[in-house]
């Protein structure tokens, strides 16, 4: 089935759960815009990441319970042997407030076979999922989504819904080859979501996701950080898929395929009682410092408890990474857990400059905050 959306269709689809999309471009957040609900406990299971290490350091930390993906967690050597890693990220998140637990899946890795396999081995019950969240429109974050839903649609709750960062999450993505030519990096097709009866809504503005999670909305670009080279994007539709070109400004539409600025990437956050903000940045193309500062502004909460996820610093030079680590240190988080695209330079610099805050991670690990 092919789904072609005009401007009216787009607005109606986005409004289904959360309101409509807004104009693109740099954004500044001047004051708190929503009340962040408090939660008592947060558990994050890494379903897919770029590597898996059985004998990674145990790591004791006073602020987080760390469980490595060893035999004791998964339930036997046969199960352990079946865990797969690939370039990408997927997290299974359980938050609890006043005895009520909500379960979300944030991002979906690169391919459905790895996601389905790992989620099964790591004990994720699709029937218990309350919602699905996509941080941005890169294939290594949405690639497993449609296959996971198709595999488990009968078990998933009938009203399961997807929250996406915004309209550019549906744009065609490209990478540039060494010869200068473009090759497709894929597209998230709304026709697949419609076929599987999964409504979607946007988080272009700060909003609640369910009744316990927070989206930063569009991330303000105010620090020294810059969008490092990654992919290219095409504003418009072809072959029945893509994003609504009318949603973007004339300047942004110049050039058919342009560098991706990830205007609609968002971070997922929680307000942990007595501890402060937990900011989960799946890739952080807009900058991890920018992501945290936006979360602080939209919630009015200054204390940062944990910064978790991909920080997109693997292509950066060591001196730039060191500057960013200093900026993170100045935010004074209790815990920093880099994943996916953060890069070895980041881990090395964080180990040197804030070793008491750094906790390392690989596929299969589980982290519990609020213990």
Report yes or no on 271 lying in a domain. yes
> In this predicted structure, which of 75-79, 198-202, 331-335 has the lowest mean pLDDT?
75-79
The residue among 361, 324, 327, 367 whose CA lies nearest residue 346 is 324
Report yes or no on 175 lying in a domain. yes
Report yes or no on 2 lying in a domain. no
Question: To the nearest whole number, what is the mean pLDDT of the chain?
Answer: 87
Report yes or no on 48 lying in a domain. yes
Q: How many residues does the chain have?
A: 371
Residue tagged 């359980």 (tokens)? 94
266 within 8 A of 165, measured Cβ to Cβ: yes
* CATH number of the domain bearing residue 70: 3.60.15.10
Residues facing 238 on adjacent strands:
241
What's phi and psi for 85, nearest 5 deg? -125, 155
Token pair listed for 238: 């072809």
Report yes or no on 365 lying in a domain. yes
pLDDT tens-digit readout, 31-49: 567 899 999 999 999 999 9
Q: Is the pLDDT of residue 253 over 50?
A: yes
88 burial type by CB count under 10 A (0-12 exposed, 13-18 middle, 19+ buried): buried
Report yes or no on 132 lying in a domain. yes
How many CB atoms neighbour CB 35 within 10 A?
A: 11
Q: What is the per-residue DSSP string for 258-295?
A: EE---TT---EEEEETTTEEEEEESS-TT-HHHHHHHH
Of 18 and 351, the structure prediction assigns the larger pLDDT to 351
Query: What sign does the CA torsion over 32, 38, 44, 48 have?
Result: negative
The confidence score (pLDDT) of residue 52 equals 79
Token pair listed for 363: 């596929």
The confidence score (pLDDT) of residue 60 equals 78
User: What end-to-end distance do the CA atoms of the chain give, in Å?
Assistant: 47
Report yes or no on 1 lying in a domain. no
What's the CA angle centered on 367, arms 364 and 370, to 5 degrees? 160
Parallel, antiparallel, or unpaired: how do β-strands 213-215 and 207-209 relate? antiparallel
Residue tagged 């952080």 (tokens)? 284
66 within 8 A of 58, measured Cβ to Cβ: yes
Q: Is the pLDDT of residue 13 over 60?
A: no
DSSP state of 342: G
Chain centroid offset of residue 137 CA: 10
**Residue 69 belongs to domain spanning:** 7-18+26-369
Report yes or no on 320 lying in a domain. yes
The confidence score (pLDDT) of residue 28 equals 47
Question: Could you give the 3-state DSSP secondary structure of residue 113?
Answer: helix
370 within 8 A of 39, measured Cβ to Cβ: yes
Number of domains within the chain: 1
Q: Is the pLDDT of residue 2 over 60?
A: no
Of 170 and 75, the structure prediction assigns the larger pLDDT to 170
159 burial type by CB count under 10 A (0-12 exposed, 13-18 middle, 19+ buried): exposed
The rounded distance, in Å, linking the Cα atoms of 228 and 165 is: 19
Q: Is the pLDDT of residue 205 over 50?
A: yes
Q: What is the mean pLDDT of residues 8-37?
A: 48
201 within 8 A of 16, measured Cβ to Cβ: yes
The confidence score (pLDDT) of residue 115 equals 98
Which of the listed ranges 9-18, 88-97, 226-235, 250-259 does the model predict with the highest average pLDDT? Answer: 88-97
111 within 8 A of 257, measured Cβ to Cβ: no
How confident is residue 74, by pLDDT bands cut at 50, 70 and 90? low
The rounded distance, in Å, linking the Cα atoms of 362 and 50 is: 7
Chain centroid offset of residue 347 CA: 19
Q: What is the mean pLDDT of residues 194-215?
A: 97
pLDDT tens-digit readout, 261-310: 999 999 999 999 999 999 999 999 999 999 999 999 999 999 999 999 99
The rounded distance, in Å, linking the Cα atoms of 7 and 20 is: 11
DSSP state of 23: -
The confidence score (pLDDT) of residue 18 equals 37
> In this predicted structure, which of 28-37, 166-175, 191-200, 223-232 has the lowest mean pLDDT?
28-37
């Amino acid at each position: 089935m092919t789904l072609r959306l005009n401007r009216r269709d787009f607005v109606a689809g986005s409004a289904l759960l959360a309101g409509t999309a807004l104009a693109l471009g740099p954004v500044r957040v001047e004051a708190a815009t929503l009340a962040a609900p408090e939660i008592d406990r947060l558990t994050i299971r890494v379903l897919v990441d770029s590597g898996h290490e059985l004998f990674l350091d145990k790591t004791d930390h006073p602020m987080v319970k760390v469980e490595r993906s060893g035999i004791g967690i998964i339930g036997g050597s046969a199960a352990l042997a079946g865990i797969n890693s690939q370039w990408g990220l997927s997290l299974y998140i359980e938050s609890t407030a006043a005895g009520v637990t909500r379960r979300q899946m944030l991002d979906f890795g690169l391919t459905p076979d790895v996601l389905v396999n790992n989620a099964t081995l790591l004990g994720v019950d699709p029937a218990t999922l309350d919602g699905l969240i996509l941080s941005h429109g890169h294939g290594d974050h949405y690639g497993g989504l449609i296959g996971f839903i198709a595999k488990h649609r009968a078990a998933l709750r009938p009203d399961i819904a997807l929250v996406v960062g915004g309209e550019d999450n549906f744009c065609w993505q490209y990478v540039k080859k060494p010869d200068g030519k473009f090759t497709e990096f894929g597209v998230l097709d709304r026709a697949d979501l419609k076929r599987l009866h999964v409504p979607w809504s946007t988080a272009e503005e700060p909003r609640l996701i369910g009744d316990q999670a927070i989206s930063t909305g569009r991330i303000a670009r105010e620090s020294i950080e810059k969008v490092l080279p990654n992919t290219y994007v095409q504003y418009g539709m072809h072959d029945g898929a893509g994003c609504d070109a009318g949603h973007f400004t004339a300047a942004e539409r110049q050039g058919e395929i342009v560098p991706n600025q990830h205007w609609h990437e968002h971070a997922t956050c929680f307000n942990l009682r007595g501890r402060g903000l937990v900011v989960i940045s799946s890739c952080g193309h807009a900058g991890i410092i920018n992501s945290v500062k936006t979360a602080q502004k939209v919630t009015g909460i200054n204390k940062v408890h944990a910064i978790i996820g991909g920080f997109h610093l693997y292509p950066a030079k060591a001196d730039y990474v060191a500057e960013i680590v200093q900026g993170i240190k100045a935010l004074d988080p209790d815990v920093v857990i880099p994943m996916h695209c953060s890069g070895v330079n980041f881990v090395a610099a964080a180990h040197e400059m804030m070793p008491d805050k750094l906790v390392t991670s690989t596929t299969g690990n589980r982290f519990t905050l609020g213990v």
